[in-house]
């Protein structure tokens, strides 16, 4: 349908009504149908921070939708501000493709990104992009309104598991982005000869693989650290960004008695990952040559202040900033962004020096993310071979996790474990993907 037809109030209202009446599983397909003539496309993919089951939903060409990864969508989200459509080429489904991306974050939402994979390379007119943004805002409101009916209110354990999986996914994405940023800096460094560049690239790749595998397997947090030790791990984490790149990193750690203050593991880990995520988000602006990271331990909180000398274009409502704020909020912390055009950006992250208490009545609280994944498969009645295939691990590893689950839950059989999980609110199925 031509754009001029959207000037007809009846047409616009009928599309809005269809979106606001669509069942949860049909919101994306309804939106896709409405946009077919406006922006011809192969598929639509959504990244959401609200779904407890899956971070990505999709509709359209299965060859494309099944190949798009959460990491690709998360990386795309760093380039898209809420309420500001963006048309560009981006890596999706393993290749660089044209994409129209829009982001929305209504009250009560962690934010959602929509990626349309158009059939052509030409950017839609600005008024068309604006209309897509408005329709996506409506679709996001509909999805948020339907969550209570889709997810029972007593599912504290699954939400906890989803939060932990989201943290690991975000850490994996940032680790991957840091490695790629460093490799690009290495390739652009004209002061290194070919042999040195190759050896360094191999070292970086090996180190990255080790970190990714440890994160993917749900690496345990380190034990209690002093503020000085925890800050040292942060400087190591961020060091690769400046070693062969064009950005200068400055560090100012805690001193005196504050340096010896013991930091709870989850707080130290959150401080490091949010700092790295902030640095990467700052670099995405372009024009950043210096970033200063400082830690202050005082008044019962750990305060991280990160400054850059960039264009000052980092918006506080950007989807990437929402993700950083969500990480901090998970431990009762907060993120504040102060950007001044032409002068740079200051991001302040405040985290309490007391770890959030786990619910005392949560029988699944001792299970790590991988064990929760296996438990979910047990609840659905799958045997070891099926679990291994679904989680892409060996049957031997499944048996190991099942044994650990039974021991931690204090039960004697898989059936008892499943029953206990269901009693705690763990869902038998939340097949929400469209």
Average pLDDT, the chain: 76
> Nearest to residue 278, comparing CAs of 329, 238, 219, 227?
238
pLDDT higher than 80, residue 369: no
pLDDT at 176: 58
Q: Tens digit of pLDDT for each residue in 195-246?
A: 666 666 655 555 555 455 444 444 444 556 788 988 988 887 777 666 655 7
Q: How far is CA 163 from CA 196, 331, 334, 368, in A?
A: 41, 11, 17, 12
CA–CA gap between residue 197 and residue 182 (Å, rounded): 12
Query: Comparing C-alpha atoms, which of 290, 227, 301 is closest to residue 261?
Result: 227
Q: Do 417 and 411 contact (CB within 8 A), yes or no?
A: yes
Angle between helices 9-21 and 126-150 (to 10 degrees): 30
Q: Is the pLDDT of residue 427 over 90?
A: no
Q: Residue 81 is encoded by which pair of tokens?
A: 């501000």
pLDDT per position as a tens digit, 89-131: 999 988 899 999 999 887 766 678 999 999 999 999 998 999 9
Q: What was the pLDDT predicted at 351?
A: 92
Q: Round to whole Å and give the CA distance between 116 and 61.
A: 12
pLDDT value at 161 more than 60: no
306 backbone dihedrals φ, ψ, rounded to 5°: -125, 120
Is 237:181 a contact under the CB 8 Å cutoff?
no
Q: Please state the rounded mean pLDDT for residues 1-30.
A: 77
Greater pLDDT, 432 or 72: 72
pLDDT at 297: 92
Q: Which of 6-15, 55-64, 173-182, 271-280 has the lowest mean pLDDT?
A: 173-182
The answer to whether 275 touches 291, Cβ cutoff 8 Å, is: no
Name the most confidently modeled range: 105-109, 242-246, 285-289, 345-349: 345-349
Element (H, E) at 210: helix 194-216
Name the nearest CA neighbour of 63 among 16, 95, 110.
95
Element holding 379 (H helix, E strand): helix 369-379
* CA–CA distance, 351 with 303 (Å, rounded to integer): 6
Q: Return d(Cα 347, Cα 337) in angstroms, integer.
A: 5
């Amino acid at each position: 349908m031509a754009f001029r037809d959207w000037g007809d109030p009846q047409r616009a209202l009928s599309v809005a009504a269809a979106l606001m009446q669509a069942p949860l599983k049909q919101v994306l397909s309804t939106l896709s149908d409405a946009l077919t003539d406006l922006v011809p496309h192969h598929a639509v993919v959504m990244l959401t921070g609200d779904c407890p089951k899956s971070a990505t939903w999709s509709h359209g060409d299965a060859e494309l939708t099944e190949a798009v990864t959460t990491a690709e969508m998360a990386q795309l989200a760093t380039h898209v501000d809420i309420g500001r459509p963006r048309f560009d080429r981006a890596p999706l489904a393993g290749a660089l493709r044209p994409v129209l991306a829009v982001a929305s974050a209504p009250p009560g939402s962690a934010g959602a990104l929509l990626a349309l994979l158009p059939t052509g390379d030409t950017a839609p007119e600005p008024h068309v992009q604006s209309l897509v943004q408005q329709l996506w805002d409506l679709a996001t409101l509909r999805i948020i309104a339907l969550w209570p009916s889709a997810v029972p209110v007593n599912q504290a354990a699954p939400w906890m598991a989803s939060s932990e999986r989201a943290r690991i996914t975000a850490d994996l994405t940032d680790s991957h982005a840091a490695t790629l940023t460093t490799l690009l800096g290495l390739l652009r460094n004209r002061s290194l000869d070919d042999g040195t560049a190759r050896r360094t690239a191999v070292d970086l790749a090996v180190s990255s693989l080790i970190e990714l595998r440890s994160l993917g397997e749900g690496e345990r947090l380190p034990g209690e650290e002093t503020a000085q030790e925890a800050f040292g791990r942060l400087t190591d984490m961020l060091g690769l960004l400046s070693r062969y790149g064009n950005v200068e990193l400055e560090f100012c750690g805690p001193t005196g008695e504050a340096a010896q203050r013991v930091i709870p593991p989850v707080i130290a880990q959150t401080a490091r990952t949010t700092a790295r995520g902030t640095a990467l988000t700052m670099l995405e602006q372009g024009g950043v040559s210096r970033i200063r990271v400082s830690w202050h331990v005082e008044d019962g909180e750990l305060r991280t202040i990160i400054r850059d000398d960039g264009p000052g274009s980092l918006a506080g409502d950007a989807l990437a900033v929402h993700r950083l704020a969500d990480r901090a909020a998970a431990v009762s912390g907060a993120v504040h962004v102060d950007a001044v055009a032409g002068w740079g950006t200051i991001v302040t992250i405040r985290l309490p020096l007391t770890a959030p208490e786990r619910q005392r009545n949560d029988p699944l609280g001792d299970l790590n993310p991988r064990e929760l994944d296996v438990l979910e498969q047990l609840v659905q009645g799958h045997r070891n071979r099926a679990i291994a295939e679904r989680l892409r691990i060996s049957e031997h590893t499944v048996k190991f996790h099942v044994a650990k689950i039974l021991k931690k839950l204090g039960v004697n059989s898989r059936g008892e474990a499943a029953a206990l999980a269901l009693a705690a609110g763990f869902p038998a199925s939340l097949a929400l993907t469209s």
